[in-house]
Amino acid sequence: MSADPAAGATRRLRGLIWLVAAAFFMQTLDSTIVNTAVPSIAHAMHVQPIDLKTALTSYVLTLAICIPASAWLSDRFGTRHVFAASILVFTLGSLACGVSQNLPQLIAARVLQGLGGALLMPVGRYVLVRAFGPKDFVAAMSTAGIPGLLGPVLGPLLGGVLSQYASWRWIFLVNVPVGVIGLWLNRREMPDFHGNRRPFDWVGFALFALASGLLLGAAETGGSGAYREAVACAIGGGLCAFGYWHYGHSAQHPIADLALFKVRSFAIAIGGGLCTRLGTAGLSFLLVLFLQVGCGWSPTAAGSMLVPQAVAMILMKFLIDRLLKRHGYRRALFVNTVLVTVLLCCFALLQQHTPGWAVAVLMFAFGFVMSLQYTAMNTLAFVDLPSERAAQASSLTSAVQYLSISFGIALASWLMAVFLEGRHRDPAAYVQGFRISVLAMAAMPLVAVYVFTRLRHDRLPRRPVETPETAA
């Protein structure tokens, strides 16, 4: 008796959802699990905690640079091979992180990890679109995205527990068995989709990568006091960015379609999102330093303070569609960005003896407003775009998101280094540095408030677009 083909197809699609969900979970978990282990890693590698910023920014920057290449790679080599390669590289990068003996080795391993992680989310989303079609894609993506939402909840707490009771190395090594299972599932469940072959924009990719790397290098070296090197990197990065801006308008197959910025809502979403993330992306990194180094909290206790933010972000997602449909993007983003600025300033009120429940309440409120902020900014970019331009827009918005996150972490760490004034062993200096830094960071979302006022009054969502990237 032959097996039912329909039942076999259903089982295969269900396995595909689990595979993509595991990949989303692995990437989002790794984006948050490292934060609470920063002091432990710094102690083991005999560096200052603030020096670990490069290990965080190198991973996110690699994501930003490599994501635009995901569509070309999938079309050229097929989704099964590309997804398997991304899982393998991510797993090897995680293993390399876990056995690193010094900071340069850890940074190199994080870059390798980022090379694999950059392809997991965009290729996974592309496969779900092709496998399920427009009718069932939203339901499939919502199901696959649930583990991705749990990553930020479990990551900080798991990172604290592992670094306190086991070893910081396990925060990376836990990815190895998950990666092995992912490779097995990929061979069984992943369809091998190919697309139209087209030339790869090597010139545009090189200019984009150089501009991103040099500008981040300027922020990193400037924060370390190497001002000549910072100026040189800034000039080089600026020239590469200008070169791509000039080149991208005439390229036949650009790695990033700059013509999208002619759409008003897209340009405002990108500009407002950039300013917002520059002011908020480094908060978790600074808060961990404040709690562990400044206040003497354990890694587990500090990690638990990041959990309320992630829980609030999940809860808020049930209200976002209703809020945007009732108030529209302009009013919602204006009011919410003001709240983001106010809450950032509230973090400046924290002191060494502030009770844990007060920190948790503040983080919960911050997670609530940031959930609306991220989803509104990310979906605004697509409200006026035709469906045939959605793929390029998704790639570009993802790259800008991760770029702004890496620059936000660099900005926050640079501010903290400035206000520490070299007193790296003084807990009171970390408390004071944190309080002044968050006040300075609040200036960036304040700029975003003005950017969002440039929206037209009638911008309303057509249909909710929920992906794991709305939490980025």
Which candidate, 124, 131, 117, places its Cα nearest to that of 30?
A: 117
| CA 309/CA 364 separation, integer angstroms | 5
One-letter amino acid for residue 289 of the chain = L
253: its two tokens: 């197959």
| CA 398/CA 73 separation, integer angstroms | 16
Helix runs in 255-389, H state only: 264-280, 283-289, 299-304, 307-346, 356-380
Higher pLDDT, 384 or 369: 369
392 HSE (CA, 13 A, CB side): 15
For residues 220-229, one letter each, b for 16 or more C-beta atoms within 10 angstroms of the residue's C-beta and e for the rest, the string is: bbbbbeeeee
Q: Does domain 1-198 have CATH number 1.20.1250.20?
A: yes
- Output phi, psi for 353, to 5 deg: -105, 20
One-letter amino acid for residue 178 of the chain = V
Residue 205 and residue 255 in contact, taking contact as beta carbons nearer than 8 Å: yes
Give one DSSP letter per residue of 159-193, joined into a string. HHHHHHHS-TTHHHHTHHHHHHHHHHHHHHH----
Mean local confidence (pLDDT), 45-57: 84
Please give the distance of CA 462 from its chain centroid, rounded to a whole number. Answer: 25
Q: How confident is the model at residue 130 (pLDDT cuts 50, 70, 90)?
A: confident
Segment 337-357, tens digit of pLDDT = 999 999 999 999 999 899 999
Q: Tell me which CATH code domain 256-472 carries.
A: 1.20.1250.20
288: its two tokens: 């961990």
Query: What pLDDT does 469 receive?
Result: 47
Segment 278-332, tens digit of pLDDT = 999 889 889 988 999 889 999 889 888 888 988 888 888 788 878 888 888 888 8
Which candidate, 71, 59, 62, 381, places its Cα nearest to that of 255?
A: 71
Which candidate, 196, 337, 360, 193, places its Cα nearest to that of 272?
A: 337
Query: What pLDDT does 112 receive?
Result: 93
Mean local confidence (pLDDT), 203-222: 83
Residues 6+ apart with CB under 8 A from 7: none
Q: How confident is the model at residue 142 (pLDDT cuts 50, 70, 90)?
A: low
Lowest mean pLDDT among 54-68, 341-355, 429-443: 54-68
Segment 241-253, tens digit of pLDDT = 899 888 877 777 7
Higher pLDDT, 344 or 231: 344
Residue 204 and residue 256 in contact, taking contact as beta carbons nearer than 8 Å: yes
| CA 330/CA 42 separation, integer angstroms | 43
161 HSE (CA, 13 A, CB side): 8
Helix runs in 201-306, H state only: 202-223, 227-248, 264-280, 283-289, 299-304
Query: What pLDDT does 137 receive?
Result: 61
Query: What pLDDT does 317 receive?
Result: 79
- pTM, two decimals, is 0.83
Give percent above pLDDT 70 in the chain: 89
